[in-house]
Structures are given as structure tokens and as C-alpha cells.
Structure 1
Amino acid sequence: MDTDKRKTRRTAANNDKTRAPDTPRSVDALRELAVRIGRDEAGLSLGGKAHTVLGRLLERPEEVAFRTITDLATALDVNASTLTRLSTKLGYAGFADFQSVFRDSLAQRHRHFHTHQAERLVAGKKARAQTPVDGATSPEVHVVAQLARESISNVETFLARLSAADLRDAAALLADAPRVRVHGLRQFSALASFLCYGLGMIRTDVALLDVQGLGVAEGLAQLQPGDVVVVSSVAPYTRSVAEAAVAAAAAGMIVIAITDTLASPLVPPARHAFLIPHESSFFTTSMGAYLIFCEGLLNLVATHLGKRSLQALSRRERLITALGIETD
């Protein structure tokens, strides 16, 4: 055991000597570097494919820490040599050196049970896919049950990496900004409408960015620095949504992104980016985890607003009653 410890210490020392001085020593530092690379602020260019691979690795730190390079390459549908080149490009001695950063970071957070958690993550994914759900007695029910399991897995994944500080700040911004605009197209137009409707129930001056179909430029022109623009898109990303996020940030608006990975083009211009996975057997992007995240974010905004949200809801109910909109 003592020999193994000495060997590990020697390997770590050798890696430290081989690494460039500014090579990230933690997963958090790697995440920051990925964002800076996306913003062209790092003095390092990975190329689109390598940047995407890095983003996907940072989504699954437990797997990177404990799976072999071959297993990871298979899971990401790339060659093992791609992971080795990425590691050296980032300044590490090789993939093992790169992997040690994930192991060290996890050890700091999960001193006694990180190995168990990582093994359960890898094994649990297969178990969820193979274990029938109660009531799944027909092929039709099985299809729905499988989608439900996959959505639950996506929710568990985004919950594991949520930042309390980011949530608090984003909720405060959405509550207190003079104006809020929400932008999403194609499938994510539905999510944008849902978020816009929920915010509009508890505060004023909330709208879709292009609510009248006059164009994004017209919508942004109505805003001022300090206003908030929420954007949402996932791979394959809608180019115009990414461009709107960049333009909004350049004009001084605060951008909040709801997207999928650190490689998303919505991340660089965003003050806060919330990464929600959508792995699913659904024939298009699975929206379940996104809706749950937005419901949680709306509740946080309502809590931050306090009495102001109650007053807004009460006023809304009075108008609904006066106009006879609802029926028993």
C-alpha cells in the first residue's frame, strides 16, 4: 500500500512538471476554460468538434473520472486518439493526466463515497433501461414508461450539477430587471411561451422577444442595458437564437441561457447558463426536464418577489373574474 501511495505521488509530481503552468487543476477551472475558449478569450483554439467533446466530458465528471478511455470514446462516438489529442492540446501530459483532474476534484467533494456514486451512475443507466416499470404490461405502455424513465434520468443529471448561486442570481434578475424578454424558436418556441406566461403571471413587462413577428432586431431595440433576455436552444442549435444572444449581450442586456452543453453557442454570451440534458428515445428533443427546470425557476422568482408576486396574481384573478374568462 505504501509503495502504491509513493508511486501515485511520483506520478502526480511528474504530471505537474509536464503540465503547462496555466493548465486547469480542477473540473471547475476546466469549465471556466471551456467557456473562455467559446468566447475566444483563452488564446487557445480547439476546433468545433474538440470543443463539443470537451463540453460533453464536463457534463459527466463521474464517468470521466472512472471509466477507461476506450469506454468514454465509445460513449461519445469518437476515437480514443481524439481524447488523447484533446488532453495534450489543453496542456496535460496525456489522457491519464487529464482524467486525474476529474478524480481529484471528485475526491474533494465526495471524500468517502465518490467511487460508489460513479459506479452507480454508470450501472444505474443500464439498469433503468432494462428494468420494467410497474404497469408496463404492453408494448404501448412500455414506450411511455421508457420515456418517463429517461426524463427522470435527465432531471437527476441536471439536478446534480445545478449551482445554488446561479439559481439565486438568475431568479433575482428575472424578478427585478425592468424588462424581460424570452426567445426560443422551433420546438423551443413552446418552452419560451411557457416561461413567458409563467413570468407574466407574477411580474410586469415580460414578453417574447419577437412577439409580433417584427424581427429580433426590433425586439432588442425596445430594451435597455440591464434588461434580461432568456434564450433557449439545444443541438442542433438554431443559428438565429445564438446570434440574438450575442447581440443582446453586446448591447448590454443580461443573457440567461437554457441549453444543453458547455459547447453550446448560447453559453459564451450568457451570464448564467443552465445545462439540461435531453437524452431520450423520443423522436425529437425531449422537453420533460426543461419544463421541470423552468417550473423550479419560476417558483424561485415568485419566492424572490414575495408580496409583489401575490399582488400580481391577485390582480390577475380579479381581471379573469371580471371578464368571465373561466367557467366552473
Structure 2
Amino acid sequence: MDTNLRTKRRKPANKDEASAPEAVAGAPRSVDALRELVLRIGRDEAGLSLGGKAHAVLAWLLERPEEVAVRTITDLATALDVNASTLTRLSTKLGYTGFADFQSVFRDSLAERHRHFYTNQAERLVAGKKQRAHTPVNSGTSPEVEVVVQLAHESIVNVETFLARLSADDLRGAAALLAGAPRVRVHGLRQFSALASFLCYGLGMIRADVGLLDAQGLGVAEGLAQLQPGDVVVVTSVSPYTRSVAEAAKAAAEAGMTVIAITDTLASPLVPPARHAFLIPHDSSFFSNSMGAYLIFCEGLLNLVATHLGKRSLQALSRRERLITALGIETD
């Protein structure tokens, strides 16, 4: 556990902290250290005791570090069905000057993880390879196949996780918007430009006036300027988030467009401007963000849009087939 002493007092961040005592030496300065403290408290090794309710609240917070990093004390208290003062008291009990000091641990941890996301993922991959080299594999299964099997199993878990929290209302609402909006633009960059292109291609098969927000590379502002209130902008990005995608989502919402977000957690900056936000995990041993669950979700969403369009989607697909035949694009 981090036992560095903090010698400099800071000004209270809010009125809840104004009367809080100075943090005691040794207050954990990382989420891992905080988890370790909780374990020690549970074993009665920390010289500190928490009531059952406080312990449950702390466990809930530690299960959702990204949410704790970005949500307000009021939001978190509402989610926990407790008073905001309960979170302040818990923070000071653990040795922090108040909730803002406690929350800074989660914010610092999130920032650190974002800075080293890809190397951390690769380190896990290499460590897994070393472990497999010393672990007997199943009869008839090579280490190379085991790598693919592991990724497949991890994607299945991601799919099961997002299925468990899917909202039927959000699915219906998003499908109706994507079917009925005059124009639809899709925006994703870096790795998620591939997902944006896939979603754009699928929507373009069954309805007109669909495109990438910056298809010609002229700039997001120019793409948004072509839209009107009532048009839909679909944005997608996951941790570590692409700043410009989050800014585009916010700008689109402020300009009157309807935003649909495909992202990972409630802590995502794409969630606040979105009317419908779909949260899909990407936990895996892949050295970058796992895309499997995202592709399955998009296929499902496209099917819902096609169903909502009904005969119009059939007419669009039939017209497309005639053009493919006329141009001789496909071979037998």
C-alpha cells in the first residue's frame, strides 16, 4: 500500500469538505491500494472498521472505478440510494480530506490506465503466452489454437454482459430514429473507424442518405453543417476515448441533432449528449479493444432498423441487387 505522506493542505473542494479533518497519513493513493485496504479491513488487519452499509457502498464504488472517476457525488449517491453525506463520511473515515480527495484517486487511476492502455494489454498477452508455455494444453490442441479459443471465450462473455443490460426501450427508440431520420451520419475514428464504416455500409443497404460524418476528410464541422435538427449522428468510441469523437457528439447535440452512442461504460464522454447509449464491454486478452461484441450488437441493431423499415428496406435491397447485376460487380 502506498504510504507516502501528503504535507501540503489544499483548499476544500466543496462545502461538504469545508469542515472535514485533514487526511491521515497513508490514505491509499491508487485504486489497487484502496482495494488492498478493503481486504485488510475485512480481515480486521487495518485498525479500522466499517459498518455493513459503508462496506457495501465502498465495494460498489470499487466495482465501478470509471463511474466514480467522472460522476458527481450526487449522481453516485442517487445510484446507491444513500445521502451524499454518506459518501463524504466514508471518504473521511478512510483518511481522505473529503469526497473530492477520494474521487481524485479514481481519476488519477483512470488517467494512468488511458496513458498506458495498449502496452498494458500487450503485457497481459505476453504474460499469458509465458503461462501457456508452462501449462499443459488440452490433448490435440496447440498453443496457437488456444490463443484463438481464449479470445473467442472472452468475446462470448462480453456479448453475454451487454445482452444482460440491453434496454428494449433504447433499442426500439434507436431503431426508429435510424429508420425515420432524414439523414444519418456515423462517426468513429482510429480502430472504431472500422465499426463506423460497417454500420454505415449496413444502413446504406436499407435506406438512403447515410454516410460517415467526415467521409471526404473535409472536417467534422463541415459534416455537421450539412445536417439539420432531427437528423441522427451515431458516435462510437471506447476507453481510451478519442477526444474529437466526444467533442463531435457534444457539438451535434447542441446543434439539435439526435445522438446515439455506442460505447463501453457510463463514464464514457459519449453518454451525456446521447439520447440512447449502448454500453458494450471490450475486456479481452487482445492487445487493443476487442471488437467482437460490438460487431454483433451492430448486426442486431441493423436487423431492427430493417424490420422497422419493412417494405422500404426490401425495396432498397432489391434496387441495390439490380444495380449490382447491371454493373457485373459480383461473380458466381
- What TM-score range do you get, normalising by the shorter chain? 0.5 to 0.7
Matched pairs, number = 227
Deviations 1:148-168 (A, max 9, x none): 011000000000100001100
Task: Identify if the C-alpha distance between structure 1 residues 310 and 76 changes in structure 2 by more than 3 Å, giving closer, same or farther.
Answer: closer
Deviations 1:88-115 (A, max 9, x none): 9961635999xxxxxxxxxxxxxxxxxx
Residue 135 of structure 1 contacts residue 141 of structure 1 at CA under 8 Å; is this kept in 2? Answer: no
Could you tell me which residue of structure 2 aligns to residue 91 of structure 1?
Answer: 84
In the alignment, the residues of structure 2 paired with residue 73 and residue 250 of structure 1 have an alpha-carbon distance, to the nearest angstrom, of 31
Matched, 1:192 2:206: no
Match of 2:166 among 151, 158, 162: 162
Match of 1:309 among 306, 313, 320: 313
In the alignment, the residues of structure 1 paired with residue 282 and residue 195 of structure 2 have an alpha-carbon distance, to the nearest angstrom, of 14
In the alignment, the residues of structure 1 paired with residue 214 and residue 198 of structure 2 have an alpha-carbon distance, to the nearest angstrom, of 15
Matched residue SS, 1:207? strand
In the alignment, the residues of structure 2 paired with residue 72 and residue 246 of structure 1 have an alpha-carbon distance, to the nearest angstrom, of 29
Task: Identify if the C-alpha distance between structure 1 residues 95 and 152 changes in structure 2 by more than 3 Å, giving closer, same or farther.
Answer: farther
Matched, 1:321 2:325: yes
Unaligned 5+ segments in structure 2 are 1-15, 17-30, 32-52, 67-72, 91-131
Task: Identify if the C-alpha distance between structure 1 residues 135 and 307 changes in structure 2 by more than 3 Å, giving closer, same or farther.
Answer: farther
In the alignment, the residues of structure 1 paired with residue 222 and residue 57 of structure 2 have an alpha-carbon distance, to the nearest angstrom, of 49
In the alignment, the residues of structure 2 paired with residue 238 and residue 135 of structure 1 have an alpha-carbon distance, to the nearest angstrom, of 43
Deviation at 1:138, TM superposition (A): 1.4
In the alignment, the residues of structure 2 paired with residue 317 and residue 135 of structure 1 have an alpha-carbon distance, to the nearest angstrom, of 47
Task: Identify if the C-alpha distance between structure 1 residues 254 and 74 changes in structure 2 by more than 3 Å, giving closer, same or farther.
Answer: closer
**AA partner of residue 304 (structure 1):** H
Task: Identify if the C-alpha distance between structure 1 residues 158 and 270 changes in structure 2 by more than 3 Å, giving closer, same or farther.
Answer: same
Residue 225 of structure 1 contacts residue 253 of structure 1 at CA under 8 Å; is this kept in 2? Answer: yes
Deviation at 1:137, TM superposition (A): 1.4
**AA partner of residue 317 (structure 2):** L
Match of 1:280 among 281, 284, 302: 284
In the alignment, the residues of structure 2 paired with residue 165 and residue 180 of structure 1 have an alpha-carbon distance, to the nearest angstrom, of 20
Identity among equivalent positions (%) equals 79
Deviation at 1:133, TM superposition (A): 10
Residue 137 of structure 2 contacts residue 143 of structure 2 at CA under 8 Å; is this kept in 1? Answer: no
**AA partner of residue 261 (structure 1):** T
In the alignment, the residues of structure 1 paired with residue 172 and residue 182 of structure 2 have an alpha-carbon distance, to the nearest angstrom, of 18
**AA partner of residue 248 (structure 1):** A
Q: Choose 1 or 2 for highest CA Rg.
A: 2
In the alignment, the residues of structure 2 paired with residue 195 and residue 281 of structure 1 have an alpha-carbon distance, to the nearest angstrom, of 25
Q: How does 1:70-219 map to 2 (within 5 A)?
A: 91=84, 93=86, 137-219=141-223
Match of 1:221 among 225, 233, 242: 225
In the alignment, the residues of structure 1 paired with residue 159 and residue 177 of structure 2 have an alpha-carbon distance, to the nearest angstrom, of 24
Matched residue SS, 1:213? coil
Could you tell me which residue of structure 1 aligns to residue 242 of structure 2?
Answer: 238
Matched residue SS, 1:229? strand
In the alignment, the residues of structure 2 paired with residue 261 and residue 202 of structure 1 have an alpha-carbon distance, to the nearest angstrom, of 29
Matched residue SS, 1:256? strand
Deviations 1:36-79 (A, max 9, x none): xxxxxxxx9xxxxxxxx9xxxxxxxxxxx9x967876776689x
Deviation at 1:270, TM superposition (A): 0.5
Match of 1:264 among 268, 271, 274: 268
Matched residue SS, 2:204? helix
For normalisation by structure 1, the TM-score amounts to: 0.63
Task: Identify if the C-alpha distance between structure 1 residues 143 and 75 changes in structure 2 by more than 3 Å, giving closer, same or farther.
Answer: farther
Matched residue SS, 1:255? strand
Task: Identify if the C-alpha distance between structure 1 residues 77 and 159 changes in structure 2 by more than 3 Å, giving closer, same or farther.
Answer: closer
**AA partner of residue 266 (structure 2):** L
For normalisation by structure 2, the TM-score amounts to: 0.62
In the alignment, the residues of structure 2 paired with residue 136 and residue 261 of structure 1 have an alpha-carbon distance, to the nearest angstrom, of 39
Deviations 1:199-235 (A, max 9, x none): 0000000000000000000000100000000000001
In the alignment, the residues of structure 2 paired with residue 136 and residue 71 of structure 1 have an alpha-carbon distance, to the nearest angstrom, of 42
Q: Which has the higher helix share?
A: 1
In the alignment, the residues of structure 1 paired with residue 331 and residue 268 of structure 2 have an alpha-carbon distance, to the nearest angstrom, of 44
**AA partner of residue 269 (structure 1):** P
Deviation at 1:134, TM superposition (A): 8.1
Unaligned 5+ segments in structure 1 are 1-43, 45-52, 54-64, 79-84, 98-129
